Structure 1
Amino acid sequence: MKDSPIGIFDSGVGGTSIWKEIQKLLPKENTLYLADSKNAPYGEKSKEEIVRLSRKNTEFLLQKGCKLIVVACNTATTNAITYLRDNYDVPFIGIEPAIKPAALNSKSRTVGVLATKGTLASSLFHSTSENHAYGIQVLEQEGTGLVELIEKGELRTVKTRSLLKKYLDPMLDKGIDYLVLGCSHYPYLIPLLRELLPEQVRIIDSGEAVARQTKAILLERDLLDSYNGKVKHQFYSNTDKTVLKNLLHNTDAEIEVSYLDF
């Protein structure tokens, strides 16, 4: 199974930010990415619906022979990963807001979390906050509408800027010095965020940590691919492929993007 692909799924194109970190750290690994853009965003759905979609995505990736699955969606991780681990015999890597490093390093003792409704309402998010942010003021902000704009490729439009400013200003007024991105779509907004945030406010996302954990689990299970031949990266989307292709256009890896009626 060493040359089997790493499977990755997200409620759309945002998880490609996680894929890029994995591909950078593990350049010899084959990957298979599923963008469930037709059902984006997951953050507005019920837990039962999120579990159903996550199960459907998982079964597709397993049918394709994936040796490990990265749930590259904060909402799916916080609502469904326990179910997935209990019901499928394959390692799962989840993604959740990186509150711990923000809380440990905050000087103002106030950090902001920009995430979806589904992530912020989950028990996993609240237990993470309680365990790692004692004595820290954690300001939660739902990023309503941002996923939809990113799915349309609107990364720097006036509408996106205005919405971000609306969400950031109340947190800045309360003195945050860290902004935690709690959705895998949001790293694509970092260039715009840097324009809107003061220099002293640091942005944290989970991409590098997920890549490191993926490598660690592959090593632990003796699944790391050491093959030196051609590496294959397959991407599937159940909507228009254009935005997905645009987000991947500057990668050095050889990729294949296909439409999937899913």
Structure 2
Amino acid sequence: MKIVVFDSGLGSLSIIKAIQKRTKADIIYLADKKNFPYGKKTKSQLYKIITDTIQKISEKFNPDVIVLASNTPSLLFREKLPDNVITVLPPLEKIQKASNVAILTTEIVAKSKELENYISEFNNLEDVLKINCSELVELVETGKFLTNEKNCVKTISKVLKDEFKENNIKIATLSSTHLPFLSPFLKKIFRGIEFLDPADDVAMKISRLKQQASKNNSLTIYTTKSPKALQRNLKNMGISNKVTLFS
């Protein structure tokens, strides 16, 4: 099975890790660094980026599956994408008759009617808090979460602490795929809160596809900008695969 997983940077890795636990596949990871961050683009800009990228991916790699490993375009355009594209959405189906729920997402999604419409599909949810976590997405993408723990804790607390306390949050979805990299910090700072990762849902969908599994897991990495910079960040994360410029 050949799978292309892409987003604007490191977020894809949280999805890839979950897929590899469930399914042996030949995975192509595309970090669209040239267009980072997706969450601060206008809808029209982002739609062009996503549709153009999907077309180029399809022509170059002819994959069985494309995983749009970014919550932002997944939510905004989920009804406009080709059938072989799997999206990453807030895992709200895991929450039963819950209140005091927060969705941690990007700026454009937090303000969108598409997120409101998605939440309304789950009748068991009440008063869902939407939090703009674009600053935390950038914290991950720069790699600072790997090298500056003190700054990481300070930034997370600034973005989330008051919101969580004022709204008595009990459950939070890590709806941006960058955010699972901050899980160790989140769980340490907010001990009474359950954090939900959407990656397992994506991995489950792929494992159920009627495609022949590969003999081994393989990972090929491309980026639309600065291969050496991405290579350095990946090396700090224990990934030594070569990074190639995608064009």
TM-score normalised according to structure 2 size: 0.88
SS in structure 2 opposite 1:137? coil
* Matched residue, 1:203: 195
1:40 aligns with 2:36: yes
Partners of 1:188 and 1:139 in 2: CA distance:
21
Partners of 1:135 and 1:208 in 2: CA distance:
21
Choose the corresponding residue for 1:179, options 147, 172, 197: 172
Query: Deviation at 1:134?
Result: 4.3
% identical aligned pairs: 26
* Matched residue, 2:91: 98
* Matched residue, 2:7: 10
SS in structure 2 opposite 1:15? helix
Partners of 1:121 and 1:164 in 2: CA distance:
20
Q: 1:174 to 1:121 in 2, by over 3 A?
A: closer
* Matched residue, 1:145: 135
1:194 aligns with 2:187: yes
Partners of 1:244 and 1:95 in 2: CA distance:
22
Moved over 6 A (4+): none
The answer to whether the 8 A contact 1:40-1:147 is kept is no
Choose the corresponding residue for 1:232, options 207, 218, 222: 218
The answer to whether the 8 A contact 2:97-2:125 is kept is no
TM-score normalised according to structure 1 size: 0.84
1:247 aligns with 2:237: yes
Which sections of structure 2, spanning at least 5 residues, go unmatched? none
Partners of 1:115 and 1:9 in 2: CA distance:
17
The answer to whether the 8 A contact 1:78-1:122 is kept is no
1:64 aligns with 2:61: yes
Q: Deviations over 1:52-87 (max 9, x none)?
A: 1112321232111211100000012112343322xx
Query: Deviation at 1:256?
Result: 3.1
Query: Deviation at 1:21?
Result: 0.3
Partners of 1:153 and 1:235 in 2: CA distance:
17
Which sections of structure 1, spanning at least 5 residues, go unmatched? 250-254
Query: Deviation at 1:261?
Result: 5.0
Which moved further from structure 2: 59-68 or 240-249?
240-249
Cα RMSD over matched residues?
A: 2.0
**Residue identity opposite 2:190 in structure 1:** L
Aligned length: 239
